Amino acid sequence: MAKRAIGIDIGGTGIKGALVDVKKGILLSDRVRFETPEGGRPDDIAQIVATLISQISGSKDSMPVGICFPAVVQHGRTMSAANISKEWIGFDADGLFERKLGRHVHVVNDADAAGVAEIKFGAGASEKGLVIMTTLGTGIGSALFIDGRLVPNAELGHLEIDGVDYESKASFAAKERENLSFTDWATRLQKYYARLEALFSPDLIIVGGGVSKQHEQFLPLLKLQTRIVPALKRNNAGILGAAALAFRNSED
């Protein structure tokens, strides 16, 4: 019998979810998407998640739900908040969603969820040693794995380089905001990934985020000792990883 869970990916502009086969790493339903409610307050987001789950084909009340979130998450509490209400800071997110949904819920950092999807089902499958997943988007998200085991909440996008939080210079949003060419953006990415390499000596770096679809435009321009590859699961990574973690957590 298929091992199933529901994965929900909450972002600053949209909330999307689907039913997931957590053994094969595939979606078993169409993705359902709603706009993130203005202000991104806890009760409003919880209501949208409940509505979204009710529209996922094949979902059942007994299925665990994994929710990935733009925040540092410690023991079910969201300890930061990016592009959502500051009310989430120090908030019992697991408790809120479990009360609202009436089922087991596991909340996790969004970059960690995407990384788990790549380690279990994508570009990092069967990789040993130290693997770093990065997501290039509004900021730079990161996930750290040692022999396939997640080290949670590694906020490596916030490395200080040249006196600034370097995601402000090297994120995809910075490229768009400053209208940088891929060549100019790659110069900044080179500085970022070279620092990451110098600090951690990883065995593999995986690059995700929507722009990874265009990886041929910038990854070949980077000169690193470490192998660097595009993510494979892309826009479904958060859903897949959150569902996989929720299923595993529900069995513990």
Check pLDDT > 60 for residue 1. Answer: no
Percent of the chain whose predicted confidence (pLDDT) is above 70: 99
pLDDT at res. 116: 97
With bands split at pLDDT 50, 70 and 90, how would you rate the model's confidence at 234?
Answer: confident
Q: Does 207 reside within a domain?
A: yes
The mean pLDDT of the chain is 94
Return phi, psi of residue 164, to 5°: -135, 155
pLDDT at res. 82: 78
Q: Does 116 reside within a domain?
A: no
Q: Does 222 reside within a domain?
A: yes
With bands split at pLDDT 50, 70 and 90, how would you rate the model's confidence at 210?
Answer: confident
- Please state, in angstroms and rounded to a whole number, the distance separating the CA atoms of residues 68 and 77: 12
Q: Are residue 132 and residue 175 in the same domain, yes or no?
A: yes
Residues 135, 114: contact at Cβ < 8 Å?
A: yes
For 127, the domain range is 123-231
pLDDT at res. 13: 85
Q: Are residue 202 and residue 127 in the same domain, yes or no?
A: yes
Q: Are residue 198 and residue 223 in the same domain, yes or no?
A: yes
The pLDDT tens digits for 43-88 are 999 999 999 999 999 888 889 999 999 899 999 999 998 778 999 9
Q: Are residue 12 and residue 92 in the same domain, yes or no?
A: yes
Number of domains in the chain: 2
Q: Does 165 reside within a domain?
A: yes
Q: Are residue 169 and residue 102 in the same domain, yes or no?
A: no
With bands split at pLDDT 50, 70 and 90, how would you rate the model's confidence at 126?
Answer: confident
Q: Are residue 170 and residue 187 in the same domain, yes or no?
A: yes
Check pLDDT > 70 for residue 140. Answer: yes
Q: Does 117 reside within a domain?
A: no
Q: Are residue 226 and residue 136 in the same domain, yes or no?
A: yes
Q: Are residue 24 and residue 63 in the same domain, yes or no?
A: yes
Q: Which residues contact 28 (CB under 8 A, 6 or more apart)?
A: 2, 4, 18, 19, 20, 21, 58
Percent of the chain whose predicted confidence (pLDDT) is above 90: 88
With bands split at pLDDT 50, 70 and 90, how would you rate the model's confidence at 8?
Answer: very high
Q: Does 37 reside within a domain?
A: yes
pLDDT at res. 238: 95
Q: Which residues contact 68 (CB under 8 A, 6 or more apart)?
A: 7, 8, 9, 10, 107, 108, 109, 110, 112, 113, 114, 238, 239, 241, 242
Q: Are residue 225 and residue 154 in the same domain, yes or no?
A: yes
Q: Does 62 reside within a domain?
A: yes
The CATH number assigned to the domain holding 50 equals: 3.30.420.40
